[in-house]
Amino acid sequence: MKGSTMPALHPLLRNSLIAVATTAVLAGCASTTAGSVAGGQRSQLMVVSEAEIVQAAQQAFAQQNAKARAQGALVTSGAEFNRVNTVMRRLVPHVAQFRPDAARWPWELVLINTNELNAHVMPGGKVTVYTGLLRRMGMTDDELAVVIGHEMAHAFREHSREQISQQAVGDLAVSLGGALLGLGSGGTQLAGIAKQVALDMPYSRNMENEADIYGLELAARAGYNPAAALTLWDKMAAAGAGQGPSFLSSHPSASDRTARIRAALPKLMPIYEAARRR
C-alpha cells in the first residue's frame, strides 16, 4: 500500500530472512524441460508454485475473453478458428518430447478479431492469436506452426512463472518483512501479475531465443517445415516498417533471429523429414 512504512528489522532477523530467501532461490533453481536438439538447456528460478500461476492465468484468460466477447471480437469457431486450432492440436502431442506432463494440459485456443499482428500465451497452455496475423500476413500453415510453436514453447518452458519468480525475489530484496516472497495474499495479486507478464511485460531476449528454438523443433516434430521461419520473419520485418507488429516488440532483431534459425536448421530438418515419412 502506498505511503506505508515498515519498521526497521533487527540485524539478526534481517540476516535470517536473507538466509531463508537465499535457500528458497537455490531450491527453486531447476529446468522445467528436456533440452532441444538445437540447444537450450539451462537452470530456471522457480520459487512461485505452478498451481498458483496457472490459476491466476486462467482468471486473466477468462477476463480477456469476456472483454473480447463483449466487443464482438472473440472467435471460437469458423474456418479461421478451425485452421489455427488444427495446427495447434497437431503440435500438442509433441510437447511430450520436452515435457510429458505439458502434453496433458488442457490446451485452449481463442482468436481475437483485430487487425493487430499479435499472438501470446498464458501459463497452462492458453493460446491467443489475433486475426491480423492470418489476414495481413498471408501465412502458410508452416509459418503459422512457427508462431504457435513459439508461443507454446513459452508455456511449457514456464517463462511467465520464471519471470514472476524473478520479480518476487526482487520484491523480497526490497521488503524482507511480511510473508516470504510477498505472495501470501495470493489470488488478486497473482492475477494482476499474470496479466502483466502475459500481456504487458516483455520476455527476456534469452527466453525469446529459447521459444524460437523449442518452437521450431516442436513444429518440425509435427511435420511442419521449420525453414518457414525464414519467410515468416521476412514478412514480419517487412510489416515492421512504420508500425511494427506487437508480436515482435520485445524480440531479437530480425538479422540475429535469422542467423540463429539458419544455424539451427541443419539439426531440425532431419526431424522434419522423418515426421513427413511417418
Contact 119, 133 (CB under 8 A): yes
C-alpha distances out from residue 228 to 1, 91, 122, 142, 233, Å: 49, 15, 25, 6, 9
Contact 38, 268 (CB under 8 A): yes
Q: Can you tell me the distance from the alpha carbon of 211 to that of 126, in angstroms, rounded to the nearest whole number?
A: 16
Q: Can you tell me the distance from the alpha carbon of 126 to that of 114, in angstroms, rounded to the nearest whole number?
A: 18
Contact 175, 4 (CB under 8 A): no
Q: Can you tell me the distance from the alpha carbon of 130 to that of 144, in angstroms, rounded to the nearest whole number?
A: 12
Contact 130, 147 (CB under 8 A): no
> Which is catalytic among the residues 52, 143, 151, 217?
151
Calculate the CA 199 to chain-centre distance. 10
151 given a catalytic annotation = yes
Unique residue bearing C-alpha cell 493460446:
127
Torsion angles phi and psi, residue 148, rounded to 5: -65, -40
Provide the phi-psi class of 4: left if phi over 0, else alpha when psi is between -120 and 50, else beta: beta
Which grid coordinates are listed for 70?
463483449
Q: Can you tell me the distance from the alpha carbon of 47 to that of 183, in angstroms, rounded to the nearest whole number?
A: 10
List beta partners, residue 30. 44
Active site residues: 151
